[in-house]
Structure 1
Amino acid sequence: MGADGGTIPRRDELVKEKKKPEKKDKTSELQHKWNDCSISQLPLQKPVMACEYGSLYNKESVLECLLDKQKYEGVAKLAHIRGLKDVKELQLTDNPALSRTDNKMDISNCAPYICPVTGLEMNGKHRFCFIWTCGCVISERALKEVPSSLCHKCAKPYAADDVIVLNGDDADFELMKSRMEERRLAAKQSKKGKKKAKTDSEGEPSSKAAKLADKGETSLDKSKLKSATAAKLVTAASSAAKTVKSKSLSVQDDPKSSEVYKSLFTSSDEAKKQGAQHSGWVSFNPQYFR
């Protein structure tokens, strides 16, 4: 059986085969990982940040994500970033080829950053790492060929666990995750130790019972202090009254009073004489004498 003209159809024309899945372009995928932000998918611009998993971000995108987590899709993958302390600003080395003005050189495929030791371009073809303590970006080849406990770029000391692989594979991801958990646990324990040392240096009781005992002693001391203060006030008031009483002068001893004014009182000499003559009088007053 055939079509007009006696042609015979082929099998692929009669049977629809299942379409093969499209393959990813590895070159485009590498360029996307190393040149674009993992949050906003925009081109990377300084300052460039990296998390403890080795992903690259723009600092502006990280800040926007922390302020409004609903702005970007797939933010659940960024649950390990709780704040700016969980990302590090990278100290990148610019590629000098991009600054040249030689028209004969094709710089369209040049990476914007290179390794400061080996000069390898950071384009995904070579493995790159960064040191968490200082943020310097160095190729893995440089770290292996020139082993050292000091950073090759800034000469700051670092440990082996501080080396984080940028855009690593699944095995690298699991390793970076375990190192992140160990690093955060050590930081938490160090913080608790510093807090405890500060409490001990200030002399504060560490147990609850000691705090309650200290509180009880303080209340007793306050009550004793109040009673002692009250007793002192009473003693001072009585002594002041005695002093005022001892210092008070009678009318007859007052040098400022006149003799006429003194004679009005029973304590005067004339009143005492008249009182002896008129013993029945209770008080002395000159106006009653005739």
Structure 2
Amino acid sequence: MGCDGGTIPKRHELVKGPKKVEKVDRNAELAAKWKYCALSQEKLRRPIIACDLGRLFNKDSVIEYLLDKTAERPNAEAVSHIRGIKDIKELNLTDNPEWKGERSNTKGDIYEDMNCGMFICPVVGLEMNGKHRFCYLQNCGCVFSDRALKEVKTEICHKCGEGFKAEDIVVLNGTKEEVGKLSVRMEEKRAKAKTKKSKKSKAAETVSTPSESKEDAQAPQVDLTAQQNGDESSQPAVAGSSDSSKGGKSSTASTSSIAKRNFQEMTEKSEVFKSLFTTHSSAKRSKDQTSNWVTHTPYHF
């Protein structure tokens, strides 16, 4: 039994079995996570940042997303939890001295190690290529391997010397279980921040209200003491306030003249005190001392 042209088909051409499951290349999957931005899918370049879930991004791509969230992006789900700059941290990475760049093998006649990472752990020296577990500290942003944190147990950063707690350690590109734990921790952290803000706002309101009540209580007391003592200095002020409501500008001029005359007529005050005011006789000039022209410069004197 043949087909047109005398060809004889084989069994695998006629009988089709179940489709084979396509397997993703392990090296390609690791390179996509550790060498490319999770949002823009561009190659990672400094400055590199990480979120609370341990995903790596280029800083400029995340800033563009925050400035314009309405634009359509293929990987917008990776940054849906990022609300602002406070939700990201710039990483303090250590360069790999064996990394020669991507353009070193331009001719294709040199063996190129695809597993070579751009960065390494500053304590153990492991390459950050996805084969080893890496973490970063939320306080300072320094990146270390998980082996270094387990072997050298300390509460001080190995690179910058800043203190940290176990809650500040975030796994980079972790598994689904690790990402789920980090998401729960992120929600708890945000809930604590909201409670702190609400407490601060309530405390500010309670501080402002008693101060206003004290000022209102102190204002009438001053007026009562002034009326009881019957000081002469307070009388012109009260008269001026009553006249101002009736006479306007003329009342202010009369009160100022009364106040000026009262200072010179006071027998209790000394001549030195009275000479401080322009109504004193020493402040007045004779016709010989005055001139026919007026100037505002000190050269007249």
TM-score class normalised by the smaller sequence: 0.5 to 0.7
Number of the residue aligned with 2:195: 189
- Alignment partners' CA distance in 1, 2:22 and 2:100: 38
Compared with structure 1, are the counterparts of its residues 107 and 198 closer, same or farther at alpha carbon in structure 2 (3 Å cutoff)?
farther
Could you say what secondary structure the match of 1:180 adopts?
helix
Among 232, 235, 242, the alignment partner of 2:239 is 232
TM-fit CA distance, 1:190: 3.3
Matches within 5 A, 1:100-139: 108-109=113-114, 110-139=116-145
RMSD of aligned C-alpha atoms? Answer: 4.0
Shift of 1:204: 1.9
Alignment partners' CA distance in 1, 2:29 and 2:66: 26
Partners in 1 of 2:8 and 2:39 — Cα distance? 55
The equivalent of 2:150 in structure 1 is: 144
Indicate the SS of the match to 1:126.
coil
Conserved in 2, the CA contact under 8 Å of 1:46 and 1:58? yes
Shift of 1:74: 3.0
**Matches for 1:39-54 after TM superposition, within 5 Å:** 39-54=39-54
Could you tell me how far 1:147 is from its partner in structure 2? 1.2
Sequence identity, in percent? Answer: 46
Identify the residue that residue 209 of structure 2 maps to in structure 1: 205
Structure 2 stretches of 5 or more lacking a match? Answer: 228-234, 244-250, 262-301
Match of 2:91 in 1: 90
Q: 1:152 to 1:199 in 2, by over 3 A?
A: farther
What is the identity, as a one-letter code, of the residue corresponding to 2:43? P
For residue 96 of structure 1, give the secondary structure of its aligned residue in structure 2.
Answer: coil
- Amino acid in the other structure paired with 2:209: P
Partners of 2:16 and 2:202 in 1: CA distance:
73
In the alignment, residue 140 of structure 1 is paired with which amino acid?
Answer: D
Deviation at 1:184, TM superposition (A): 2.0
AA at the equivalent of 1:122: M
Aligned to 1:170: 176
Do the aligned partners of 1:92 and 1:136 also contact (CA within 8 Å) in 2? Answer: yes
Instruction: Please give the per-residue CA displacement for 1:124-181, whole angstroms capped at 9, x wherever unaligned.
Output: 0000000011100000011111111111111111111110000000111011111112
Does structure 1 conserve the Cα–Cα contact (< 8 Å) formed by 2:39 and 2:78?
A: no
Aligned to 1:141, the other structure's residue is in SS state helix
| Alignment TM-score, normalising by the size of structure 1 | 0.67
Q: C-alpha offsets along residues 203-255 of structure 1, whole Å, 9 cap, x if unaligned?
A: 4227xxx97xx399479859x79xx8874326996995xx9xxxxxxxxxxxx
Q: Is the 8 A contact 1:133 1:162 kept in 2?
A: yes
- Between Structure 1 and Structure 2, whose CA radius of gyration is higher? 1
Secondary structure of 2:89's match?
A: strand
Counterpart of 2:158, as a letter, is H
User: What is the rounded CA distance, in whole Å, between the counterparts of 1:117 and 1:106 in structure 2?
Assistant: 28
Q: Answer whether contact 1:129 1:139 (CA < 8 A) is retained.
A: yes
Corresponding residue for residue 25 of structure 1: 25
Question: Structure 1 residues 23, 107: CA separation in 2 closer, same or farther (over 3 Å shift)?
Answer: closer
String of CA shifts for 1:12-67, please: whole Å, max 9, x gaps: 33222232231111110001100000011000000000000000000110111111
Unmatched 5+ residue regions in structure 1?
A: 244-290
Q: Is the 8 A contact 2:38 2:78 kept in 1?
A: no
CA drift of 1:107 comes to 6.0
Aligned residue type for 2:53: Y
Find the aligned partners of 2:148 and 2:9 in 1 and give their Cα distance: 61
For the residues of structure 2 that align with 1:185 and 1:77, how far apart are their CA atoms?
21
Q: Is the 8 A contact 1:65 1:71 kept in 2?
A: no
- TM-score (ref. length: structure 2): 0.64
Alignment CA distance shift 1:190-1:157 (3 Å): farther
Distance 1:50 1:182, change over 3 A: same
Deviation for aligned residue 1:198: 5.2
- Residues 32/7 of structure 1: CA separation in 2 closer, same or farther (3 Å cut): closer
Q: What is the alpha-carbon distance in structure 1 between the residues aligned to residue 194 and residue 138 of structure 2?
A: 17
CA distance in 1, matches of 2:32, 2:100: 23
1:217–1:197 distance in 2 versus 1, CA, 3 Å: closer
The answer (yes or no) to whether the contact 1:50–1:57 under 8 Å persists in 2 is yes
